[in-house]
Chains A and B, each alone.
Chain A
């Protein structure tokens, strides 16, 4: 099942904004999306998974591995809620 990029970014941003703020959450997700070559076309589940992995590894430096894994779990839940 495919999902719109903006919808995914919005859902994932809500999970990470308590940590990095609303502006940085959205801009970081968009940058990660661009680096993955996501160009606005509907995303596949694998692409959403890749986006979540990238966001999670970016948060590692602030939150440590254990806490980042918790956030990644929350991101996956948020993405699953869109399907």
Chain B
């Protein structure tokens, strides 16, 4: 199977995972049994996260010990492994223990632990590319990004976190509902730096791989933030749409990391 055919296969898997959720959201859910939606969604998410972790960890082997890029790929792999384990816990509840995962659950432990690895990985990539002369911007522009991204995030966070803080929930659930959007906003800072760094490379394979991976991360952050916000408002009607966003984001991240892995090993 050629590289292009594998990319198309990933697109098909994204569609298989996301379309049933979108059908549910658009009110055409009657055509797809809910159990099938849950099973396809859970399995597709697990497959994407597991493969992304494996490809990232394998990519790290292409770099020598002490190389910042090696550390970055390892951290990225560890972050996606955390997401995979978190999703695995949720899937056990969804598929075998009654359909809905409790919140909080042991899965949240893995999800929360994964974020620092992902954020550190992205900062390490930005640093490694900058050290190699591919900063993508002057030092002053980078400083503006580092200041502007958190400032903008804080502004949106104020709006998003307000209903979450006041929503009736256990202290641990409230803490997690606040933690997820905050961690997503933190993740957006290195994402912004890397978008700026890799955008000039977009005409080549490296840029395409990064654009795909970063698009996946941005969609995931948007889904996380929207999920926390609408859950706090008690609006569950958007859940199928948000689940579709998760499938698409995990699929994009898998596609991006696979492209990079292929570049390193082909």
Contact = CB atoms under 8 A, between A and B. Distances in A.
A20 B207 contact: yes
Interface of B: 62-64, 67-69, 128-129, 131-134, 200-207, 263-266
Contacts of A63: 62, 206, 263-264
Interface in A47-78: 57-58, 60-67
Main SS at interface, chain A: helix
A25 interface: yes
Contacts of A61: 67-69, 128-129, 131-132, 134
Contact of A19 (B69, B129, B200, B205): B205
Given A20-B207, A60-B132, A61-B134, A66 B62 contact: yes
A27 B204 CA distance: 14
Interface of A: 16-25, 27-28, 31-32, 57-58, 60-67
Contacts of A17: 203-204
Nearest to A64: B62
Contacts, number: 74
B201 A21 contact: yes
A64 B69 CA distance: 8
8 contacts: A17-B204, A20-B201, A21-B202, A23-B203, A58-B133, A63-B62, A64-B69, A67-B265
Given A61-B129, A61-B134, A20 B204 contact: yes
B200 A62 contact: no
Contacts of A58: 132-134
Given A20-B207, A60-B67, 11 more contacts: A16-B204, A19-B205, A19-B263, A22-B204, A24-B134, A24-B203, A24-B207, A58-B132, A60-B132, A61-B134, A67-B266
Contact of A67 (B62, B64, B204, B207): B62
A25 B207 CA distance: 12
